[in-house]
Amino acid sequence: MTSSTGSDRPVVLYDTTLRDGTQGENVTLSLADKLRVARMLDEYGMPYIEGGWPGSNPKDIEFFRTARTMSWHTAKLAAFGSTRHRSNTAATDPNLQELVRAETPVVTIFGKSWLLH
């Protein structure tokens, strides 16, 4: 399919259910729930699954620890996090260290724009 701009590049989906999808009121997933949803997304054929923010809570730490031992058919797991805090170097920033420790094939890093960060 070609778009109106003439591009024939495919659209690649990146699912954020395990992080962004749990930010609604009264929405919570257990570790088992997160692993089950990730497995279902993989079986569906989702190419990228964002697993959450490693280091933000014990459940996400365990999710990445468990998920890296699982076989994935189509999905590549992504760890989500932010750029370093302004008082840290990249080498000493706890958030960046957790992203590396997650051992995912993909890392999604957002940049902060608020002056207090």
pLDDT digits (tens, 9 = 90+) for 14-27: 999 999 988 888 88
- Position 96 in a domain: yes
- Position 7 in a domain: no
- Position 115 in a domain: no
- Position 4 in a domain: no
Structure pTM?
0.85
Domain count, the chain: 1
Round to whole Å and give the CA distance between 49 and 37: 10
Domain range for 47 is 14-110
Joined together, the tokens standing for residue 91 give 């080498």
pLDDT tens, residue by residue, 68-111: 999 999 999 999 999 988 899 999 999 999 999 999 999 999 99
The CATH number given to whatever domain includes residue 43 is 3.20.20.70
Round to whole Å and give the CA distance between 18 and 22: 6
Q: Considering the chain, what is the average pLDDT of its residues? A: 91
Amino acid at 43: E
